[in-house]
Amino acid sequence: MREIKFRAWYANQEMHYGIAPIDNKYYIFFETQKRNAHDLQINRAISIMQYTGLKDKNGKDIYEGDIVKHATDEGVYKVIFEDGGFYVKNLFEYDFQTINEYPLEVIGNIYENPELLEEESE
C-alpha cells in the first residue's frame, strides 16, 4: 500500500507539506518548520496535491503538479492525476504514459517554477 501524503500551495506563494485531519477539519503539518498544526487550515489553500507514492531517480517524492524530466530523452513532463491514476503529460505532444514506467527527475513544480512549462511549449 502506498503512503498517503499531500501538499498545499497557498496564496502567500508558499508550498506546505503534510495535510492531516484534526477535529473534522484538515490542517497542514510542516516538514521543516515547527508550527502549531492549527496555523494554516486547508480551506485557505489554493491547490491541494497528492503524493504519487513514487520517488524520482534521486529519491525525492513525486507529487501531482510536479514538473519532471525524463532521464533518457530529456523530455519535460507535468505530473497529473486523471481517470483514477497518476500520469506524466508530455507538454509538447500531449502524450500520456503511466508515471511508474520512467526513470524521472523532479525539476520543479507548476507553482514555484511555471517558467519550466513555458520553455518547453515554445
What is the CATH classification number for the domain harbouring 44?
Answer: 2.30.30.290
Decide: 116 and 107 in contact? Cβ < 8 Å. Answer: yes
pLDDT tens digits, 73-97: 777 889 998 888 888 887 555 566 6
Question: Is residue 116 in some structural domain?
Answer: yes
Question: Is residue 96 in some structural domain?
Answer: yes
Question: Is residue 1 in some structural domain?
Answer: no
Amino acid at 104: L
Q: Residue 119: pLDDT band by 50, 70, 90 thresholds? A: low
C-alpha cell at 57: 531517480
Question: Is residue 55 in some structural domain?
Answer: yes
pLDDT tens digits, 4-33: 788 888 777 888 787 665 566 655 555 444
Question: Is residue 104 in some structural domain?
Answer: yes
> What are the C-alpha distances in Å from 60 to residues 53, 56, 104, 105?
11, 5, 10, 8
Give the per-residue pLDDT at 4. 78
Amino acid at 96: F
Average pLDDT rounded to a whole number, residues 63-79: 86
Domain residue limits at 59: 6-121
Question: Is residue 114 in some structural domain?
Answer: yes
